[in-house]
Amino acid sequence: MSNVITMGEVAARTLADEMRRDPTIWVLGEDVQAGGIFAQYKGLFQEFGAARVVNTPIAESTIMGAGLGAALVGTRPVIEMRIADFVMPAIDELVNQIAKVRYMFGGQARASVVVRVPHGLHPGSAAQHSQVIESWFVNVPGLVVAAPSTALDLAGLLRTALRCDDPVVFFEPKAMFKNVADMLGDWPAIPFGKAERRREGKDVTIVSWAQAMPAAIEAAAALSADGVEADLLDLRTLWPWDSEAVLASAARTGRALVVQEGVGASGFGAEVAVTIAEHSAARVRRLASPRIPVPFAPTLEDVCFIRPGMIVAAAKEMVAG
């Protein structure tokens, strides 16, 4: 079998591994028996059958509520939300019930669920299918929030999420599901709250995650060619997040650029930036999408994407200043 597979296939194989290990793990959501719209459930129905891979109606609140009920009686549901925008009809079940049940019952009950949320900008998806809503759920006590940017991190964090007793909102980069990766070797579990240094540098800290990371990596390489060495950190999880690594890097470089895919207003980048400002003397700047509905027309949609050149320009400006 080839080691070069898509990120969607990585997600499916990881979930299959965990379902073999733990018979209490099962899947519910729209089109999961067909493999999901990004192939993230490919082959699971054929192996585990209708009892553990359950197609549902188009009724997100019902899907989320059924997952909660199943978790309360001891199973570990994987709740597929299809894309991030479709979580909204299920907000009450997720925010008021799943996130609170362990606290409200003093630990006597818990909702050990993984809510899989393909998210992020995707060409041609327009205003109702392109929203980046990660910061909504970081704001909710009781939820763990993961946001991987690579196939290996997706596998490792998903493995950890499926073994976690707390509810995990698992944001997956939908524009990257078809990206291929060489997955030679093991795909070990990755602990929550540990950033990954993608590149080491002394001139400026760049902090990013999820679908903004490829642009940040490309920008860091371009900066290096121009003599500016970026210390590039991939957060991987947004709650808990690795403030210790970010602060240490910012203290060393004296400059920190936070790059996020979502809207800047009240985005998670603001949390990172203010933490740096409060606990270090480093200069801080953010790059984020404008606060507009994502347009359908490609020429208008383009203003919502964070491009490598934008990161390069911002980092050079910080270094020069």
Catalytic site residues?
Answer: 129
Which of 145, 2, 4, 29 has the alpha carbon at shortest distance from 15?
Answer: 29
Q: What are phi and psi of 144, to 5 degrees?
A: -95, 140
CB-CB neighbours of 59 under 10 Å: 13
What does the alpha-carbon distance between residue 288 and residue 265 come to, in Å, rounded to a whole number? 9
Q: Is 166 left (phi over 0), alpha (psi -120 to 50) or beta?
A: beta
Torsion of CA 266, 268, 271, 273, to 10 degrees: -100
Which of 56, 53, 69 has the alpha carbon at shortest distance from 29?
Answer: 56
β-bridge mates for residue 204, sequence order = 230
In what order do the strands lie in the sheet containing 204-208?
A: 196-199, 230-234, 204-208, 255-263, 283-289
CB-CB neighbours of 163 under 10 Å: 16
Which of 159, 158, 151, 153 has the alpha carbon at shortest distance from 194?
Answer: 153
The C-alpha angle 141, 144, 147, rounded to 5 degrees, equals 130
β-bridge mates for residue 118, sequence order = 172
Q: Is 107 helix (H, G, I), strand (E, B) or coil?
A: coil
Going through the chain in order, the beta strands assigned E by DSSP cover 4-6, 25-29, 53-55, 76-80, 114-119, 144-146, 168-173, 180-182, 196-199, 204-208, 230-234, 237-239, 255-263, 283-289
